[in-house]
Structure 1
């Protein structure tokens, strides 16, 4: 589980809820119609802006971002170094018997084992890298769009509440509660945009950059395997992709 995302979400909502309870009127912050118009309206417009499959896939990716932490680049480098040792000790054909869980790396290694040229292997892997980035950008766009729409629906709900309030000015005692309810939709929209949707979009950008780095390491590693580089050279070359702090760690 990605503990950082979980801490951030729980911490942000916890601070808001704590502040509400400290104010002494927590029940006044709960209004079901306001929740429905903000959340329902935001998802409805997301289906207008993007295809249904893209929105559903993005929600699944968002949950995956929350539940799963990213890979360790050092693990990838150790695996590729191990493959280089096997190839040097035996042959490239021996890599066919090695169990490789990562499908991207496995595809590259199998292309090498099949005797494909280095240019072809790199081209195939780089094409997959580029389309991965494109899919991730689409997912980020969904969350950014929802982050923009949530405050807008909050304002729409507020306007609806104000119209209802102004249409019943004959009862002055109802103006205060009606105004409070009207403002709640703006509150919900701001919370959903700035605590959920926009932070998740930024997290997806970070994860996409990490995935792209891992795939670049694998591409260079597969090329090194194909050239028959010494395992030590392979390790040092791939370590160059990492920051000094990660290398030392």
Structure 2
């Protein structure tokens, strides 16, 4: 498990820049802490995202959040070495020599491809089957990541709703000056929460998840090409040259 330091640094830098700017302007940090505005923006945004999403996509999107700080490991050089080794094993002992690797493989995608290879499936059948798996994976994963993109779209608008609600509260209490400050604070802080959460949190999370999803899809494509090449009985050296493009 390896933390993505740039994600943590970026989040901290964004928060520190805003809070630091508030302090440098002579304001108080406590002025930015408004539970009412937080409830309106975050609760309203979550509700809007849930309304537009399917439950499985919403749950999957929340689970994907961990990838922002603990991204999946994609070592293409190591994968190339594994595929070349499988090619050499199959070259020497036939495809059945790879059966020992099937049971020890944790990745369902790899295990399925290896099993088809050991079972003697035609290369074109292996390709079509694994391509369908990749397409299905990308569709599911990108639908899950889109909940954060949607949150980035809704949050600023919900922030404006919070601002209007705060101004309504101010108008209702014009005769009571003691309540005017709280209403105005909620109005402006709700806007900050909406715009800030969208551009500092939700949209960057969506972009980072899409990057990791694309990287995982490329890893699967590399596996697909490697397994099909092995199924065709091609020389492991040709396999290595063929897959070298994935390393870049």
Same fold (TM over 0.5): yes
Question: 1:174 offset after TM fit, Å?
Answer: 5.2
Give distance in 1, aligned partners of 2:123 and 2:14: 49
Which of residues 75, 78, 84 is equivalent to 1:72? 75
Give distance in 2, aligned partners of 1:65 and 1:104: 23
Contact in 2 for aligned 1:70/1:207 (Cα 8 Å): no
Question: 1:21 offset after TM fit, Å?
Answer: 3.1
Residue in 1 aligned with 2:58? 55
Contact in 1 for aligned 2:159/2:192 (Cα 8 Å): yes
Residue in 1 aligned with 2:201? 196
When structure 1 is superposed on structure 2, of 208-217 and 47-56 the one drifting more is: 47-56
Residue in 1 aligned with 2:135? 130
Q: Deviations over 1:125-150 (max 9, x none)?
A: 00000001111221232111111111
Question: 1:24 offset after TM fit, Å?
Answer: 3.7
Give distance in 2, aligned partners of 1:224 and 1:152: 52
Which of residues 4, 7, 10 is equivalent to 1:5? 7
Question: 1:186 offset after TM fit, Å?
Answer: 0.6
Alignment partner of 1:235 is 2:237? no
Partner of 1:115, secondary structure, is: coil
Q: Over the residues paired in the alignment, what is the CA RMSD in angstroms? A: 1.7
Question: 1:212 offset after TM fit, Å?
Answer: 1.3
1:124-203 to 2 correspondences below 5 Å: 124-171=129-176, 175=180, 178-203=183-208
Structure 2 gaps of 5+ residues are none
Structure 1 gaps of 5+ residues are 244-249
Contact in 1 for aligned 2:110/2:223 (Cα 8 Å): yes
Residue in 2 aligned with 1:246? none
Q: Deviations over 1:67-112 (max 9, x none)?
A: 2343111111111111111111222101010243432122111101
Residue in 1 aligned with 2:48? 45
Give distance in 2, aligned partners of 1:242 and 1:88: 24
Question: 1:65 offset after TM fit, Å?
Answer: 3.2
Give distance in 1, aligned partners of 2:202 and 2:21: 22
1:30-41 to 2 correspondences below 5 Å: 30-41=33-44
Give distance in 1, aligned partners of 2:17 and 2:89: 53
Residue in 1 aligned with 2:88? 85
Partner of 1:241, secondary structure, is: helix
Alignment partner of 1:15 is 2:20? no
Give distance in 2, aligned partners of 1:204 and 1:142: 11
Give distance in 2, aligned partners of 1:154 and 1:204: 24
Give distance in 1, aligned partners of 2:9 and 2:86: 37
Contact in 1 for aligned 2:226/2:243 (Cα 8 Å): yes
When structure 1 is superposed on structure 2, of 164-173 and 92-101 the one drifting more is: 164-173
Residue in 2 aligned with 1:247? none
Give distance in 2, aligned partners of 1:131 and 1:48: 23
Contact in 2 for aligned 1:2/1:69 (Cα 8 Å): no
Give distance in 2, aligned partners of 1:155 and 1:100: 51
Question: 1:176 offset after TM fit, Å?
Answer: 5.0
Give distance in 1, aligned partners of 2:179 and 2:80: 67
